[in-house]
Chain A
Amino acid sequence: DTAVSQTPKYLVTQMGNDKSIKCEQNLGHDTMYWYKQDSKKFLKIMFSYNNKELIINETVPNRFSPKSPDKAHLNLHINSLELGDSAVYFCASSQERAAAGNTIYFGEGSWLTVV
């Protein structure tokens, strides 16, 4: 069973379109994240949710809107896609356990290409 699963894995779309990426985790974690990895491999946090509540929003354009219907799901909706949105988007989750370093576990990534 995949611990953090996200769909779709690949997405090619035109500028101006709206698209969503879905994420689910079956680890029982309380916190979920969206990270963006650009073409230079730089992995940067976008959002963090704890028990369905937004706790981190890292100055992401408001075209990006995360939604967490429950603590096991965190979806990402992107409006009016731009060329610069092309990247790999990773969903992740963690449980607050100091003994485990509050380790973050990543999904397999969603490759978004905007043309």
Chain B
Amino acid sequence: QKEVEQNSGPLSVPEGAIASLNCTYSDRGSQSFFWYRQYSGKSPELIMFIYSNGDKEDGRFTAQLNKASQYVSLLIRDSQPSDSATYLCAVRPAGATNKLIFGTGTLLAVQP
């Protein structure tokens, strides 16, 4: 079992719709969870992080964390073509302040 799993996609949504990206992780002791966006040929850039169960909202983005289910998701409201990118889920393992484990990413395509 991979440490951090994501559906590789592509996930195709129409412009204006809600895009839902999902991630599961294997280390039950993991403390912090991150979503990065990576455009083709570019470096990953942080969208947001979450460490408490529940929802965290930042603009059009909402991260959701359920530690009991070892599940973290990212919702993008009012999706725009400019949101088309690969979304990487990353997890900080228990006791590892200097390490992130990444999933393989989900490719999101927002259709105009």
Question: Which B residues touch A109, using CB under 8 A?
Answer: 42-43
Report the Cα distance A108→B45, complex, angstroms.
10
Q: Which residue from chain A places its CB closest to the CB of B100 in the assembled complex?
A: A104
B46: Cβ under 8 A from any A Cβ: yes
**What residue of chain A has the Cβ atom nearest to residue B104's Cβ?**
A42
Give the interface residue-count category, chain B.
20 to 34
Contact residue range for chain A?
Answer: 20 to 34
- In the complex, which residues of chain B have a beta carbon less than 8 angstroms from the beta carbon of A31? 98
Is the CB–CB distance between B43 and A107 below 8 Å? yes
Query: Do A101 and B34 touch (CB < 8 A)?
Result: yes
Closest 7 CB pairs between A and B?
A101-B49, A106-B43, A43-B102, A48-B98, A42-B104, A41-B105, A108-B43
Known interface pairs A41-B38, A41-B104; 7 further A-B residue pairs with C-beta atoms within 8 A, sorted by A's residue number: A45-B100, A45-B101, A56-B99, A90-B44, A102-B98, A106-B43, A109-B43
Q: Which A residues are within 8 Å of any B CB, using their own CB?
A: 31, 33, 40-45, 48, 50, 55-56, 90, 94, 96, 101-109
